[in-house]
Amino acid sequence: MLSRRRLLQISGGLALSAATPAYARQSVSEDWSGDIEILRQAWQAMHPGLYRYSSPDEIAARLEGLSAAWKAPGSFRDRFLALTRVTASVRCGHTYPSPYNGGAAVRDRLYPGRELLPFRYVWIDGRMVVTVDQSAEGLFPRGTGIAAIDGVATPDILSRLIPLARADGHNDAKRISLMAVRGDDAYETADIHLPLVLPGLVDRASFTLADGRTVTAALLTLAERQAKSPSAVQPTGDANPWTLDKGADGVARLTMPGWALYNSTFDWRTWLGGVMDDLTGDGARGLIVDLRGNEGGEDCGDVILTRLVDRDFAPSRSQRFVRYRRAPEALDPYLNTWDRSFLDWGDQAVADTERPGFYRLTRYDDGEAATLIRPAGRRFTGPVAVLCDASNSSATFSFAQSVQESRTATLIGTPTGGNRRGINGGAFCFLRLPASRIEVDLPLIASFPEVPQPDAGIEPDLHVPTTAADIAAGADPQMAAATARILSA
C-alpha cells in the first residue's frame, strides 16, 4: 500500500516562496463554492471509502455547509480550516488537502511568517513534551512539558487539533501522532494546523511549562523549521535510506524510517534479501526491525517475511474495490496522477453483487497464489522483534498485521495507525480545485476485510510507551525492551 506522505513528493521538489502575514489573513471575497461542487462530484463518483464511516446524508450536509462557508467573505486560512474539517470527517488516512501538490500560492498562505513553535515535540497524556529545543535561547530542554501556550491549556489545543487530522476510522492514536512535530516531514501536519486553531500565534508566544514557570520565546518561520530539522525528502538515486547495526551483543538492528522508494533506484530487494540471508551466516543472536515513524510505501516487509516463514503464508489481504470503471470525463481537467490508467480500470473492475455500488478490482488480486508469502533465501530462526507505533498506517500497518498473524516476530511499542476494518489507498488522484488552487488527495482503492474487524489499529504484543522522563534522559524504552526480549530468548 502506498505511503500517502512520501507519495506526494513524486511530483518533484518544491520551492519555498516568501509571503507576508497580511497576505494570508486578508479577506477573500470570491465565491469558491464551485470548487466544492467539483469535490462533491469527485468524491461521489470515485472515493471508495466515502461512506465507510458516514452516511450519504451526513456527507452531503457537510459539503453544503462548506459550500456556504466558501461563498461568504473570509480569510484563506479560515476557508482552508473549514475544508480540512470536512476532509478529516471522512475518517480516511489518505484524504486531505495536501501542501505538497498545492503549489506555492497555497503554501505561502499556510506559512505566512513566524508562527511555528520553537521546538519539536510529541504528545504524552495530552501534554506537549519537547524532544528537540530549537529556540535561540535554549529555553526548552529535552523532556520539558508544555502545559499551555498563550494561556490555552495544551489538552485543549490537542482537542482542537484532533478533528483536523487525517486517519482511518476512530483510530485517534494516529491523529495524535500526526499532531506531533518530529522533523520527519517537510510540511509537518501540526505546523499547518496549530496556527489555524491558535490564530494569535504571531512572532512570539508565552509558554507555561509543566513546573509552573512561564517563558516567552520567538516563533519560527517554515524556512527556519526546515533548516533546523533533518532532511525530510523522498530518497532519490541509489542511496540506501536504511541502516543496519550489528551490535556487540549479537543483535542486528535494522532501522527503516520509510519504505517510499518510488523515486529511488536503490535495489532494495537485493540489499534487504542479502541482509536477511547474512543473519544466519553471521550468527546473529536476533533481529530488531525499527519501523517507528514509517507510514509505509513499497511492500518491503514481504522480503523480510520470506526469510522468516517456514511454509507458504497467506496474509489477511483484504479484497480491493473501486467505485468506477471510468472516471467521469467532466473531472479530467481537475485530476492529476502519475499513472493515467487509474482513470480507466476497464474490465479489471468487475461489478460485485455482494457490495452494490462497487467494482471488485482484479488488477492487483490475481488469485490466492499472488498474495502468498513463500519461503525464500536462507531462513532466519533467531528471535525477531518489530518496533511499531501509530505512524504505521499503510504498508507498515499491513506488515505489522502479517507479523502478528504469522507469529514470526514480536511487535513491541504502541498501537499502529491504519484500521483493521480496512483502509483506502493503493492508487491516488490529486484533485486540483481551480478557484482556491488547493489540491485534495483522492484515494481510489478501498480494502475491506472478509470478516468483521474492530475499528482500531494493531495492538502490539508488548506495549511499551515513551514517558517524558525517557525523553529527558535520552532513553529508548522500545529498543531496550526489544533487546532484553531477544537476549533472554
Of the candidates 109, 110, 131, 135, the one whose C-alpha atom is nearest the C-alpha of residue 122 is 131
* Separation between Cα atoms, residue 405 and residue 373, nearest integer Å: 12
Note whether 163 and 85 are within 8 A (CB).
yes
Phi, psi at 262, each rounded to 5°: -70, -30
Helix (H, G, I), strand (E, B) or coil at 431: strand
Q: Which sign does the torsion angle of CA 387, 391, 395, 399 carry?
A: positive
Which helix (H) or strand (E) element contains residue 288?
Answer: strand 286-290
The reported pLDDT for the residue numbered 472 is 98
Each residue of 409-439: pLDDT tens digit? 999 999 999 999 999 998 999 999 999 999 9
What residue type is 124 in one-letter code? I
- Gap between the Cα atoms of 309 and 372, Å rounded: 11
What is the pLDDT at residue 7? Answer: 44
Q: Contact 397/403 with Cβ under 8 angstroms?
A: no
Q: CA 304, 253, 426 angle in degrees (round to 5)? A: 40
Tell me whether residue 407 is exposed, middle or buried, using C-beta atoms within 10 angstroms of its C-beta: 0 to 12, 13 to 18, 19 or more.
exposed
Per DSSP, 366 falls in state -
Helical residues (DSSP H) of 361-436, grouped into ranges = 368-371, 395-406
Contact indicator for 188, 229 with CB cutoff of 8 Å:
no
Low-confidence ranges of the chain (pLDDT < 50): 1-21, 23, 369
Q: What is the pLDDT of residue 211?
A: 96
Domains and CATH numbers, the chain: 119-228 (2.30.42), 243-487 (3.90.226.10)
Distance (Å, rounded) from C-alpha 481 to C-alpha 441?
A: 38
Residues 6 or more apart from 459 whose CB is under 8 A from it?
415
Q: Which helix (H) or strand (E) holds 270?
A: helix 268-281
* Residues whose CB falls within 8 Å of the CB of residue 103, separated by 6 or more in sequence, listed in order: 437, 439
